Amino acid sequence: MSTARKPADSRSIANAKIYLQQEPDAEFRDQLQHLLDRVGQGDLDAGTELDDRFAGTLAFGTAGLRGAIGPGSNRMNRVVVARASWGLGAMLLEQGLGRPASDGVVIGFDGRRSSRRFAEDTAAILAGHGIPCWIFDTVAPTPLCAFAVRHLGAAAAVMVTASHNPPADNGYKVYQASGGQIVPPQDGQIAAHIAKAPAYAEMRRLTPFEAAQVGLRRAVPPEVRDAWHAAMRRVSLHPGAAADAPLSIVYTAMHGVGHRDVVLALRNAGFEGVAVVPEQADPDGAFPTVAFPNPEEPGAMDRALAMAAEVGADLVVANDPDADRLAVAVPLPEGGYRMLSGNEVGWLLGADALRHDPPAGWGEGPDRKLVVTTIVSSTMLGRMAEAMGADYAEVLTGFKWLAKAGDDALAAGTSRFVFGYEEALGYECGGLCRDKDGVHATVRFCELAASLKAQGQTILGALDQLALEHGLSVGAQWSHRLPGQDGLAQIATLMATLRADPPTALAGLPVTLRRDLKSDAVWSADGKAKPLGMPPSNVLVYKDADGTRLIVRPSGTEPKIKFYLEAVGRPRDVGAIAAVRAERQERLAAIRADLEARLGLQSEG
């Protein structure tokens, strides 16, 4: 959809002029002044752009603040980062945290453009509050930052990253003392303090030297990384698997920060000679070899798959730029490689965690196991948990909710978290950190693959066995990117349309259940369905008489509306799996076509 051209709103112009007086970077000041000059000359394109930059402010979404780098209250820049840091510091002080050295804040950053600068600004503002900081001296994976919170006994952490977002973006994640990302009401409390923040030039800040001199700035000690790697070795489910069945592994860091830690973690597990895609091994915020640094995007894995074909790899593994996600490709019997979906990797790792107990003496809580996934992920994990006598929970999208479910179960004494995942390639194995961890998940998956190989089995064969035991889940996920303020308005209109006139059938079969998680409203044909009792979220759920499920929601980190479909089949044997999958996929394709026609959306493939 093209963005409508229009004169700038007077409020956007006023906000831009106020912001211009605060912007510390000359380049951004020049950009904004040029934009204001164009607006003054009646340039409608400039008016539309100014509105997009200043009509709103970045708010904490599914995974913190994220947006394109540039001047404006709706962009990632030093002013926005300073205000967020000032608000975080004010909240910590209000709650009595932050002053003692033991209650400092960990600060990490990835290799994206401006990440180090934003991290330094965060440290300077928090030191100005009198809050001590531990700051990484170089780029770090997001899960290492999350691990460091609990290991150092910190009150909070900030990770500067936009994860798998486009190259133009950056972001700001906040962790609480438990090691999980902030959840309500903390995000609202920080936002309330941000609204009270003084002008950028009036915020007290300390230089690195000044902060170090008074004990408010320290480097994260190397032993934190050592402890993380030691913990990964300690909780292995298949120790020695690499020796029993060596694997040829190809790895790509996707121009991110995972290379050092993944190779080390795999070496610690016994996997030697990992082949690394050389041109994607080092951090590079320009992401020169990929248009979109997300392993799920078309073309992002091409170089890794080409290398795998050259060396005959048993396994291809990839992280996203901050190494909190894992993508996997496996060889096909007929040649070539197949990318596994996030759900498929989640099923395999989940089944492994349910079947094998971690080493004696490790972990917290009762013997009964808990596995967790999100409402948009496959329902397969729930079926596996029921069959294996474990607890199961579904939560809202975002790993902060998975971490909270594990903490809540531990506090209640009902079960012990052993695994959680979301379909967007995020996995948490055993709770070493309270966030998704692409490094630990890489080791876990490679050890699982080696264990299966030692038994004469394959990853694809293991997936077939799960389908026979627990049902064949077939999914389809797609999204429509609708950028700008007009795009956000269109997404809101699409959600409103579905609420006002919900679908009554999915490709000919009647809808038997509807849920609106924004209001927790539920309707079912038999009248038995109950509200889920989750925090309000802009999510719509539909199920039809065949059990097929459709979920619609706006993305919490990108300007997208996202759709998720799942249908379950029951193949009688391995030979029937392909036919059942094809039939289920055909049905999902029909539902998608009907839905897009109904909403006036053009398929993006």
**Residues involved in catalysis:** 163
CA distance 181 to 172: 11
DSSP one-letter string for 473-505: EEEEEEEEE--HHHHHHHHHHHHHHHHHS--SE
Q: Which two tokens stand for residue 571?
A: 């193949």
Angle at which helices 222-234 and 142-152 cross, to 10°: 100
Look at strands 249-252 and 275-276 and give their pairing: parallel
CA distance 208 to 226: 25
Q: In the chain, what is the straight-line distance between the N-terminal and C-terminal CA atoms, in Å?
A: 16
Rounded to 5°, angle at Cα 547 from 545 and 548: 105
CA distance 447 to 591: 38
- Any residues with CB less than 8 A from the CB of 282 and at least 6 apart, and which? 253, 255, 259
**Residue 280 DSSP class:** G
313 and 275 in contact (C-beta within 8 Å)?
Answer: yes
Q: Is the dihedral of CA 482, 485, 490, 493 positive or negative?
A: positive
CA neighbours within 13 Å on the CB side: how many for 56?
10
Q: Which two tokens stand for residue 519?
A: 């209001």
Among 602, 395, 584, which residue's Cα sits nearest to residue 506?
A: 584
Cis before 185 (ω within 30)? yes
**Residue 279 DSSP class:** G
Q: Which two tokens stand for residue 493?
A: 């209109």
447 and 236 in contact (C-beta within 8 Å)?
Answer: yes
Residue 426 bridge partners (DSSP)? 325, 422
Q: How many CB atoms lie within 10 A of CB 208?
A: 15
Amino acid at 375: I
- Any residues with CB less than 8 A from the CB of 251 and at least 6 apart, and which? 259, 262, 263, 266, 274, 275, 276, 277, 304, 316, 317, 318, 442
Phi-psi sector, 582: left (phi>0), alpha (psi -120 to 50), beta: alpha
